[in-house]
Structure 1
């Protein structure tokens, strides 16, 4: 947090403490985003001092407006606004239908907006716009070694083509909108299958259960090694954080099986040689 941000936060907190500024979500939104602010807001909501709201959606809306405002008078600002607000956010609201936005949905929409901005900035550097660019420009972008988020950029181009903004081809996997959150019954339906369906591979069952029951990110699951498991005759403990957790059955037995039969993707030959 820089000097200006610290002074802004201090001024807002002082106004809230003296009562000169009403305690609202909008007042907290004027402060720089931080973990302590998130915690304070959650406590105020839990105690009824503030009404509950879709926090990830609110953060996403503020981020989009701030990001687009930074582009000043760029000609593509209105195009990005249509894409971000009237396409991405509209689909997100329709998909959630009143349920809270997840962090994954928040990150996914933000990544698509950033990919669209990166593509437009790349074209701007070549002194062309999305409407005036040629197929050769897009092909050059696709083969550029420093190009990132090509799939997300392709979804932006697919939308722009449907809006008749451009008429170019850009290979892209069709995006069906933000992923829908699992409700309680559906989550347990998948968990029960992973717990009892012996036709599935142990590694898939363990990974799926860690995701469904312990809210572990796939990237965190993929980094687990045998050193994170403490298995004795009576229990199996798994280190997902600083304090190991005791796994219940049948997840404990599945983890034992996985350790005994594992094979690393980069390892050829005998099973059990990869950590």
Structure 2
């Protein structure tokens, strides 16, 4: 954990604390920061403006567009984005899905097209030729290694994207729209984190299951009433 290129720092901290708590390890400590709510401004207009730009600005590198959109639309940490592999992407016919947690997410058409392009053309500085044997969605400069955790964030900053602010806005918005359990499965975040964001966004899902059970019928899109 002292290595500057170390990945999954938060997850490892959770594991160390869990191990000590359950007496599987002794004499280890790992600091934790109490979460007090989203940091910075929750700016939905900026989030959507950034998403529109990444979807439509063909002058930007495909890798940067995909990394930014995964952060802005699906609240993915930069460190998680850099660790994605081709196996996390499922391309079946016209459908493109990607797995962040335990449940795959079906991507909308514009983003799906960019992910298809990235899978077909990805290469790092150390990679010459076809990318068939590169497992990483975002290959790094060292053979067989992905981009370091910091590189996608640096590249996004250069094109005017603020990862921390946009991710906070994404989490805040999604937490107001989805139950915490679904949010955790979809985004690959801890259920307690999802609950905290739900509370911060004032999304009240306590009566969600009861509300669904009361729905005796669904609107008929054809208008026939059947």
TM category, shorter: 0.3 to 0.5
Higher helix share: 1
TM-score by length of 2: 0.42
Instruction: Normalising by structure 1, report the TM-score.
Output: 0.35
Greater Cα radius of gyration, structure 1 or 2 = 1
